[in-house]
């Protein structure tokens, strides 16, 4: 049975977390392998004469959502529903809830959100919709809610809510991550350490295409002066941040900007019959000689790592080394797809070395060179040679690795 958390977070204002741990999902957005699962977080605030719901859960968990919510309040008593972002992992359960609520609650969101909700669920859902503009403050009960748009975190519809009197930020996708943390908040450092790599993976796969907006939007929130003094950041996925709330946005900023971890080099390759692997062993040995720490992913006839995991390694790498076979006058299919996603989702200003192998004609290296030239990555060199590497080929590779190391030092 799926695990549901109903946790009281604050006495005043009375605030609850409603979290479901989705351990059935395998591919987020039908694409990204997440054996680690994900959580959907909604929040309920009870004030004098008003009850406010912030977001909901995915449709698959509608029944569990209604049951959890009903343990705190009769759905008919919900007066306001804040929709920060309309992607169905946060809105799928809304139509059923609104039906039980008899459409009494006012929905609050951006104009873009209204449009999308109508498209997803029909006109009934938006008939009592209050459109808010960026920075608009709305008094509900005895609290003041400021709605701040954060476009492209993760869709153009997205906003966050800042509760002025209590310094709370409801942030939906922004500040979220994959994984099912064994706690609800950041109070245990071990839990945070386990969780943060999943946050990086989430940022790259879900928001990566728009990663420049992460930096822009966090800058915007900082300029509004709401981050330094925030008491709690309450995302739509994963941990709540209340021991050190600023930390999650700092992490987002680092990933958005692609800040490297010292000496980390991502090494990625395919090897059908061992020829590329022989080259990569030389490369890896040379990297280690210079105290670099290669993080290695390989596609062989026995293993195929998840592309989502590879993407999560890109932002904090100092450089990338890609080993590739020419396959039917093209890039090996696994590397072709992985590279396509790297260039789309994790397109950073980092140096790349290409190591190619071919049987009767080297094509992959040239093709990758063209792709790299159209991206933010910088090509250090393509070393593409035939068949089993000779001693001369190996020396060329060592030299190329040394050039890469010079590039990043």
Closest distance between ligand FEO and the C-beta of residue 125, in Å?
Answer: 18
Closest distance between ligand FEO and the C-beta of residue 176, in Å?
Answer: 6
Nearer to ligand FEO, 85 or 201 (CB): 85
Query: Please, what sign has the CA dihedral across residues 215, 218, 220, 222?
Result: negative
Q: State which residue has the least CB distance to ligand FEO.
A: 87
Give the whole-angstrom CA distance, residue 141 versus residue 26. Answer: 41
Binding residues for ligand FEO (CB under 6 A): 85, 87, 89-90, 154, 173, 236-237
Give the list of residues 6+ apart from residue 229 with CB closer than 8 angstroms, or none: 167
Tokens of 320: 């990338």
Based on its alpha-carbon atoms, the radius of gyration of the chain, rounded to whole angstroms, reads: 24
Nearer to ligand FEO, 51 or 239 (CB): 239
Nearer to ligand FEO, 85 or 242 (CB): 85
Closest distance between ligand FEO and the C-beta of residue 60, in Å?
Answer: 14
Query: Please, what sign has the CA dihedral across residues 170, 173, 174, 180?
Result: positive
Closest distance between ligand FEO and the C-beta of residue 237, in Å?
Answer: 6
Q: What is the 3-state secondary structure (H, E, C) of 240-290?
A: EECCCCHHHHHHHHHHHHCCCCCCEEEEEEECCCCHHHHHHHHHHHHHHHC
Closest distance between ligand FEO and the C-beta of residue 155, in Å?
Answer: 6
Closest distance between ligand FEO and the C-beta of residue 343, in Å?
Answer: 21
Nearer to ligand FEO, 90 or 350 (CB): 90
Closest distance between ligand FEO and the C-beta of residue 194, in Å?
Answer: 20
Alpha carbon distances (Å) from 122 to 95, 116, 117, 126, 193: 9, 9, 7, 8, 42
Tokens of 296: 């290695």
Nearer to ligand FEO, 83 or 355 (CB): 83
DSSP secondary structure, 65-76, as one string: HHHHHHTTS-GG
Nearer to ligand FEO, 241 or 299 (CB): 241
Give the whole-angstrom CA distance, residue 249 versus residue 219. Answer: 10
Nearer to ligand FEO, 88 or 305 (CB): 88
Give the list of residues 6+ apart from residue 274 with CB closer than 8 angstroms, or none: none
């Amino acid at each position: 049975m799926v695990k549901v958390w109903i946790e009281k977070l604050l006495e005043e204002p009375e605030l609850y977390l409603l979290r479901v741990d989705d351990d059935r999902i395998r591919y987020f957005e039908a694409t990204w392998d997440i054996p680690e699962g994900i959580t959907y977080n909604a929040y309920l605030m009870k004030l004098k004469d008003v009850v406010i719901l912030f977001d909901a859960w995915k449709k698959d968990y509608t029944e569990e959502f209604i049951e959890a919510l009903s343990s705190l309040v009769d759905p008919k008593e919900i007066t306001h529903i804040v929709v920060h972002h309309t992607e169905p992992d946060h809105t799928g359960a809304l139509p059923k809830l609104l039906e039980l609520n008899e459409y009494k609650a006012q929905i609050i969101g951006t104009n873009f959100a209204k449009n999308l909700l109508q498209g997803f669920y029909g006109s009934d859902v938006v008939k009592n919709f209050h459109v808010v503009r960026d920075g608009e403050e709305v008094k509900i009960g005895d609290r003041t809610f400021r709605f701040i748009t954060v476009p492209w975190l993760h869709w153009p519809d997205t906003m966050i809510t800042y509760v002025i009197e209590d310094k709370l930020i409801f942030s939906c996708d922004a500040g979220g991550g994959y994984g099912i943390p064994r706690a609800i908040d950041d109070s245990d450092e071990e839990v945070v350490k386990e969780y943060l790599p999943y946050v990086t993976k989430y940022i790259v796969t879900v928001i990566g295409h728009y990663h420049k907006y992460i930096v822009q939007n966090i800058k915007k929130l900082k300029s509004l002066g709401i981050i330094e003094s925030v008491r709690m950041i309450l995302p739509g996925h994963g941990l709540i941040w209340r021991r050190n709330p600023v930390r999650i946005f700092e992490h987002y900023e680092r990933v958005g900007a692609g800040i490297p971890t010292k000496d980390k080099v991502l090494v990625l390759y395919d090897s059908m019959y061992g020829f590329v692997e022989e080259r990569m062993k030389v490369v890896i040995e040379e990297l280690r000689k210079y105290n670099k720490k290669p993080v290695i992913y390989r596609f062989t006839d026995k293993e195929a790592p998840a592309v989502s995991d590879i993407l999560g390694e890109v932002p904090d790498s100092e450089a990338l080394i890609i080993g590739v076979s020419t396959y039917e006058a093209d890039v090996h299919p696994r590397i072709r797809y992985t590279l396509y996603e790297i260039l789309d989702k994790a397109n950073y200003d980092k140096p790349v070395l290409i190591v190619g192998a071919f049987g009767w004609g080297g094509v992959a290296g040239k093709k990758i060179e063209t792709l790299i030239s159209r991206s933010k990555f910088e090509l250090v060199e393509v070393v593409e040679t035939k068949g089993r590497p000779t001693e001369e080929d190996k020396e060329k590779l060592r030299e190329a690795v040394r050039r890469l190391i010079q590039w990043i030092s």
